[in-house]
Amino acid sequence: MRVLVVEDDDRVAAALRTALARYGMDVDRLATGRDVLDHLPAADVVLLDLGLPDVDGLEVCRSIREAGETPVIVVSARGRVDERIVGLHHGADDYLVKPYDVGELVARIHAVRRRRGPAAGPPPTPARDLGGGVVLDRARHVLTVEGGEVALSRKEFAVLALLADADGAVCTRDHLVAEVWGRRWPGADRTLDVHVATLRTKLGRPGLVATVRGVGYRLVPDGREGG
C-alpha cells in the first residue's frame, strides 16, 4: 500500500511516515498541493491536509476526484461539521480531524480502499510457484517466500502478477505501466523502477526479476540470468 501524504507540517509528515511503515505502508510526501496530480498514479490512497500553504485543500480534493478513482482521506485541524460536509461534497472518501489515532487512520485507509474496489488486473488464478520458493496466490492476494507471507503493495503485486503471466517472456515498460497504472505520465518509468526495486528487496530473490535493458523486465525462475 502506497500512501501519498500531502502535509505541509514536516513533523507531522515524518511521524506519519514512521507510523504507517509499521503497518507495511510506504509513504510519498508532498509539502504543497500543486504537484499532487503528478504523484497520483503511484498512490493507492491520498491523505490530504486541508490547510496547505499554496492552494485550497478542497480544490486539490476536487481535482484528484476529477482525475480518477484514487481514494482521498481529508485531514483537518478543524472539526466543524459544515467543513466535513464540504469535504465530502468535494469528493473526499472520508474525513479525519487532527489529532487522530494512527490505528484509526489505518482502518480508514483499508476501508476506503475496499470501497473503491480491488486493483485492476487479470482475473484470479490458482497459486503459482514462480521458482526459488516464491509462490503467488492471486485468489488470496498473498505472496509467500519459503512459506512465509510477504506484504506487497497492490501495485507491487500487480507488477509481479503480470511478469508471472508472461512465463519468462519480457514485459515491456509500456505494458507494465499501462496495465498497473492505467496511463502513462512523465515519471512513469522511474515509478516502475522503484516498484521493481522494492519488489526485489521484499522477495529476497534479486535475480528473479531480471532487467532487460531498454525494454522492460522478465521473470527468471532460477535467478541465475540477467540482473
Binding site for Ca ion (CB under 5 A): 8, 49, 51
CB 63 to Ca ion: min, Å: 18
Q: Which is nearer to Ca ion, 53 or 117 (CB)?
A: 53
With respect to Ca ion, which residue has the nearer C-beta, 49 or 94? Answer: 49
User: Which C-beta is closer to Ca ion: that of 44 or that of 49?
Assistant: 49
Query: Cα 131 from chain centroid?
Result: 25
In the complex, least distance from residue 49 CB atom to Ca ion, rounded to whole angstroms: 4
| Residue 26: closest CA among 117, 114, 154, 119 | 154
Q: In this structure, which amino acid lies at residue 205?
A: R
Which residues are 129's β-sheet partners? 135
Instruction: Return the C-alpha cell found at 91.
Output: 469528493
Q: How far is CA 139 from CA 157, 175, 223, in A?
A: 12, 23, 25
**Which residue, 47 or 134, is less far from Ca ion as judged by CB?**
47
150 pairs with which residues across the strands? 143
> Which is closer to Ca ion, CB of 75 or CB of 203?
75
DSSP code per residue over 185-209: -TTHHHHHHHHHHHHHHHHT-TTTE
Residue 199: CB minimum distance to Ca ion, A: 33
By Cβ distance, which residue is nearest to Ca ion?
51
CB of 32 to Ca ion, least distance (A): 10
Task: Report, in Å, the least distance between residue 214 CB and Ca ion.
Answer: 43
